[in-house]
């Protein structure tokens, strides 16, 4: 089953060899991003460096702010001035941006934040990859809110998902995070890119709770961080209205998960064992699935791959459906074992097995197969 | 109700959350008078942080962004850069601007980016109930300095001058006419304008800083214990230094510098290419 | 000069009473929306139109017109 993303570009593109971070920057400009504020941090620095010239050449504005907090604030401010805006950072900077992400969620400001993950916590492993921020991206800011997060596993996906991030942020009037990692950010691959600018409709009216127009359009907009009604007036002191507002902010995303979720499957038609991955781990996982003849021969169990491209909101129903007839679901991740808990909650019949790997290296295909063989061997 | 304010305020949002006699109301009036005199209601947006003074623009029927604590300047810079031809007016307080927002203030001043900032200084964290702020005078008892504040207070206007702001003024709420003129000049000035307003917080800092909670007493005190600075004068000690402390029209503004530099680079590049082309022939 | 004080807006801080150089205002028997005392422009004829009361009223309750 191929990707559910509708092909974003119908015209033919041209082939180039890009680095992941480079593809992200170029895609943002293609998607109409005309403001970038950022702060250098390994391994996302290539994005800000490229944007410092490309953004200006594209007729937009660029500024290196004094810290990540200021960068996140500046992009929210710029979006209210009518310019699509993006910032890029890594784990420690992403932590600093959390308050502003909450502000963007409550004020329904469409912005794109790129997190090229590295090893944590704190300064951690600046040059090594990880997927340790999978929970921070969903729960990082204080309060109840919903976030949309996309997880690319290749340079082409860095390009395509960045464009999709802008589309989703405008449609749902919400901050969207591109949850990349050092492996994908720094690799180089041949991809298809497009020239010109894709017209992405701004300020989609359907999925907004408190519609405020862009500034300087004569609409007297009130962008308020406190809980507010449709006019922007605060209602934080009214329990019932506050509850309704928070529900609405979240439901505008969760109720339309069909329009957001994007899962690719490989060899899942009659799979008994599913490997569920997101991001760069999908690469060795796919190789493992293709070489899983041994498991088929030995235990008569087929192995398939479920590649989750939109990690949040969690595509619960779809994953439950896909794993309905699976005996096992393996979840390899480059962290201590986090996303597997979400999978475990929704898988009805099979055994969910976490395959955590920390230290900064990707799982090897052989490692994945060995772990599967070991687990299956215990029970079969 | 006052006719001018009636045209500018969101009447259904009133009454304001300001205490009776609060200086924020006076600043609110002065800013509106300035905006109305300039006739730029449609071309100016207000950005504020968190605190009592950050509530000032929330009552304006204009484009207003009520952001997070200390970050108003960061949001404002993003807004300004996305619409360089429009005006931005920032409302902040002594805690919002000098404590948590200190870093953003330093860099915004240094950039000399075109916006006007009104820092309402009531020497206290009023909204949270009266804790010490970086501008609380030494020895003053507050909720978090029960034995008197240990530090010398920070002076926002002087900090702005040293970091490169090009229009800096300080007034008190007892000088509403001069304040309104300064706000107007600050908005018109092409560069970073910083206007500090010493304002009364009768409830939280009245007793500790001035000795009395009565707003009229404090206004009287502010009038009597301030002087208007003129260059070359002998400055009285122990009084609040008011006036236009800096007005520099020569220093280039950030966006202008950015555009000039880009232009120069592009021209230099074209000249180089032409030279290279001529050589190759 | 016609001086009006809005009973709905006035919070009874009495800045106008103290600040007026011509002592145009006194505390009247009237009550404002909050139930506290409210100023009244008893000496309207003395008003010189400086509008300091307008500028210093934190709630924009005062309007001074010709």
- Output the tens digit of pLDDT for each of chain C's 66 residues: 899 999 999 999 999 999 999 999 999 888 888 888 899 999 999 999 999 999 999 999 999 998
Q: Chains A and B: how many Cβ contacts under 8 Å?
A: 119
User: Peptide bond preceding A317: is omega within 30 degrees of 0, i.e. cis?
Assistant: no
For residue B280, what pLDDT is reported?
A: 56
Please check the confidence at residue B98 and state whether its pLDDT lies above 50: yes
Instruction: State whether B207 and B268 are in the same domain.
Output: no
Peptide bond into B91 cis (omega under 30): no
- The residue ranges of DSSP E strands in B21-152, in sequence order, are 44-48, 63-66, 87-93, 115-121, 124-125, 131-132
> CATH no. for residue C48?
3.30.70.20
Q: What part of C 6-65 touches B (C-beta under 8 Å)? A: 6, 8-9, 11-15, 17-19, 33, 36, 52, 54-63, 65
Contacts of B2 in chain C (CB under 8 A): 54, 57, 60-63
Q: What is the pLDDT of residues A100-114, one digit of tens each?
A: 999 999 999 999 999
Chain B residues touching residue C14 (CB < 8 angstroms): 21, 215-216
Angstrom distances, CA of residue B193 to CA of A326, B104, B105, B108, B249: 66, 14, 11, 10, 11
Q: Is there a contact between A225 and B103 if contact means CB atoms under 8 Å apart?
A: no
Indicate the residue of C18, C63, C65 with minimum beta-carbon distance to B1. Answer: C63
Tell me, what's the pLDDT at A202? 81
What is the Cα–Cα distance from A233 to B55, expressed in whole angstroms? Answer: 12
Mean pLDDT of chain B: 94
Q: Which residue has the tokens 């009604």?
A: A229
Q: How far is A224 from chain B (nearest CA, A)?
A: 5
- Ranges in chain A annotated CATH 3.40.50.920: 263-379
What pLDDT does B137 receive?
95
- Mean pLDDT over all residues of chain A? 93
- Residue from A77, A142, A233 whose CB has the most chain B CBs within 10 Å, to mutate: A77
pLDDT value at residue A143: 95
pLDDT band, residue A204 (cuts 50/70/90): low
The number of beta carbons lying within 10 Å of the beta carbon of residue A59 is 9
One domain, residues B194 and B267 = no
From B127's Cα to the closest Cα of chain A, the distance in A is 15
B12, B13, B20, B182: best to mutate for the C interface, most C CBs within 10 A: B20
CATH 3.40.50.970, chain A: domain bounds: 14-193
- Give the closest-approach CA distance of B276 to chain A in angstroms: 22
Q: In this predicted model, what pLDDT tens digit does every residue of A253-263 receive, in sequence order?
A: 999 999 999 99
Contacts of B75 in chain A (CB under 8 A): 73-74, 76-77
Give the C-alpha separation, B258 to B260, whole Å: 6
CATH number of the domain residue B31 falls in: 3.40.50.970
> Do residues B207 and B277 share a domain?
no
Burial class of residue A11 in the structure, from the number of CB atoms within 10 Å of its CB (0-12 exposed, 13-18 middle, 19+ buried):
exposed
Q: Which residue of C has its CA nearest to B172?
A: C56
Nearest Cα to A311, choosing from A86, A111, A134? A134
How far does the CA of residue A106 sit from the closest CA of chain B (Å)? 11
pLDDT for A6: 45
Contact C60 B15 (CB under 8 A): no
Percent of chain A with pLDDT over 70: 96
Question: At B270, is the pLDDT very low, low, confident or very high (cuts 50, 70, 90)?
Answer: confident
Residues B264 and B162 in one domain: no
Do B216 and C12 make contact, defined as CB atoms within 8 angstroms? no
- How do B131-132 and B124-125 pair as beta strands? antiparallel
The CATH superfamily of A14-193 is Thiamin diphosphate (ThDP)-binding fold, Pyr/PP domains (3.40.50.970)
> What is the residue range of B267's domain?
251-281
DSSP B260: H
Contact assignment for B106 to A65 by CB distance below 8 Å? no
Mean pLDDT confidence for A308-328 = 96
CB contact under 8 A, B66 and A223: yes
Question: What are the Cα distances from residue B263, in Å, to A43, A123, B81, B268?
Answer: 31, 39, 17, 8
Mean pLDDT in residue range A104-127 = 96
Interface B–C counts its CB contacts (< 8 A) at 80
pLDDT grade for A9, boundaries at 50, 70 and 90:
low
B35 & B67 share domain: yes
Residue B276 predicted with pLDDT over 80 = no
What is residue C21's predicted lDDT score, i.e. its pLDDT? 93
Q: Which residue of B has its CA nearest to C51?
A: B177
Tell me the C-alpha distance between C57 and B29, whole Å: 8
Domain limits for position C27: 2-65
Chains C and A touch (3+ CB pairs under 8 A): no
Single out the residue of A322, A366, A368 nearest to residue A343, CA to CA: A322
Minimal Cα distance from C59: which residue of B? B25
Would you state the CATH architecture of domain A263-379?
3-Layer(aba) Sandwich (3.40)
* Arithmetic mean of pLDDT, B27-37: 97
Rounded to 10 deg, the angle between the A45-57 and A20-30 helix axes is: 30
Residues of chain A neighbouring B65 (CB-CB closer than 8 A): 77, 80, 215, 223
Q: Which residue of A has its CA nearest to B86?
A: A216
Name the residue among C11, C19, C65 with its Cβ closest to that of B216.
C19
Select the residue of C14, C17, C58 nearest B26 (Cβ to Cβ): C58
Contacts of C9 in chain B (CB under 8 A): 1, 14-15
Q: Domain check: are B207 and B259 in the same one?
A: no
The predicted pLDDT at position A230 comes to 83
According to the model, what pLDDT value does residue A320 have? 96
A329/B contact by beta carbon, under 8 A? no
The per-residue pLDDT for B62 is 97
């Amino acid at each position: 089953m191929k990707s559910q993303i509708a092909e974003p570009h119908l015209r033919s593109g041209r082939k180039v060899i890009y680095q992941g971070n480079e593809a992200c920057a170029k895609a943002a400009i293609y998607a109409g991003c005309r403001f970038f504020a950022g702060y250098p941090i390994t391994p996302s620095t290539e994005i800000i460096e490229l944007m410092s010239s490309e953004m200006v050449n594209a007729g937009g504005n660029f500024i290196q702010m004094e810290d990540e907090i200021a960068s996140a604030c500046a992009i929210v401010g710029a979006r209210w001035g009518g310019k699509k805006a993006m910032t890029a950072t890594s784990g420690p900077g992403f932590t600093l941006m959390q308050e502003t992400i909450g502000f963007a969620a409550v004020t329904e400001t469409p912005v794109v934040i790129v997190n090229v993950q590295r090893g944590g916590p704190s300064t951690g492993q600046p040059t090594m990859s990880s997927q340790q921020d999978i929970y921070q991206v969903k729960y990082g800011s204080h309060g109840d809110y919903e976030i949309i997060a996309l997880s690319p596993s290749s340079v082409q996906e860095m390009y395509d998902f960045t464009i999709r991030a802008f589309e989703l942020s405008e449609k749902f009037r919400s901050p969207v995070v591109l949850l990349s990692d050092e492996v994908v950010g720094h690799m180089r691959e041949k991809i298809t890119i497009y020239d010109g600018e894709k017209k992405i409709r701004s300020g989609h009216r359907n999925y907004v709770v408190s519609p405020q127009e862009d500034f300087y359009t004569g609409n007297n907009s009130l962008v308020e961080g406190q809980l507010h009604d449709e006019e922007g007036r605060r209602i934080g002191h009214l329990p019932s209205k506050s509850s309704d507002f928070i529900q609405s902010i979240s439901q505008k995303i969760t109720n339309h998960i069909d329009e957001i979720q994007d899962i690719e499957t490989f060899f899942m038609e009659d799979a008994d064992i599913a490997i569920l991955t997101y991001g760069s781990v999908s690469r060795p996982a796919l190789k493992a699935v293709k070489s899983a003849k041994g498991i088929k021969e030995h235990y008569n169990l087929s192995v398939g791959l479920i590649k989750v491209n939109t990690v949040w909101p969690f595509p619960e129903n779809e994953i439950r459906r896909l794993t309905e007839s699976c005996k096992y679901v393996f979840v390899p991740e480059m962290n201590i074992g986090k996303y597997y808990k979400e999978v475990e909650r929704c898988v009805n019949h099979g055994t969910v097995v976490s395959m955590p790997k920390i230290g900064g290296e990707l799982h090897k295909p052989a490692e994945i197969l060995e772990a599967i063989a070991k687990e299956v061997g215990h029970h079969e | 109700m006052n006719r001018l304010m009636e045209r500018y305020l969101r009447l259904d949002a009133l009454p304001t959350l300001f205490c009776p006699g609060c200086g924020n109301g006076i600043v609110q009036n002065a800013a509106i008078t300035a905006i109305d005199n300039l006739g730029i209601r449609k071309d100016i947006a207000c950005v504020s942080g968190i605190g009592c003074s950050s509530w000032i623009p929330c009552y304006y029927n204009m484009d207003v962004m009520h952001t997070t604590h200390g970050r108003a300047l960061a949001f404002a810079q993003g807004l300004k850069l996305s619409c360089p031809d429009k005006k931005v007016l920032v409302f902040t307080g002594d805690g919002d601007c000098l404590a948590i927002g200190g870093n953003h203030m330093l860099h915004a001043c240094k950039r000399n980016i075109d916006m006007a900032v009104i820092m309402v200084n009531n020497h206290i964290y009023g909204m949270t109930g009266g804790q010490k702020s970086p501008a609380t005078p030494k020895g003053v008892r507050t909720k978090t300095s029960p034995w008197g504040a240990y530090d010398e207070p920070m002076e926002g206007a002087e900090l702005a001058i040293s970091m490169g702001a090009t229009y800096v003024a300080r007034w008190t709420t007892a000088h509403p006419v001069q304040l309104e003129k300064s706000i107007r000049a600050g908005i018109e000035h092409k560069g970073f304008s910083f206007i500090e307003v010493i304002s009364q917080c009768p409830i939280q800092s009245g007793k500790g800083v001035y000795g009395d909670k009565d707003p009229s007493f404090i206004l009287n005190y502010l009038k009597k214990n301030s002087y208007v600075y003129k260059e070359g004068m002998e400055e009285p000690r122990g009084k609040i230094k008011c006036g236009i402390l800096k007005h520099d029209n020569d220093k280039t503004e950030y966006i202008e510098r950015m555009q000039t530099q880009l232009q120069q680079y592009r021209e230099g590049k074209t000249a180089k290419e032409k030279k290279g082309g001529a050589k190759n022939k | 000069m016609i001086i009006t004080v809005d009973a709905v807006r006035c919070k009874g801080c009495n800045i106008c009473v103290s600040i007026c150089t011509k002592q145009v205002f006194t505390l009247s028997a009237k009550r404002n929306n909050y139930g506290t005392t409210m100023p009244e422009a008893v000496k309207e004829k003395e008003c010189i139109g400086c509008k300091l009361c307008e500028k210093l009223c934190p709630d924009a309750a005062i309007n001074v017109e010709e």
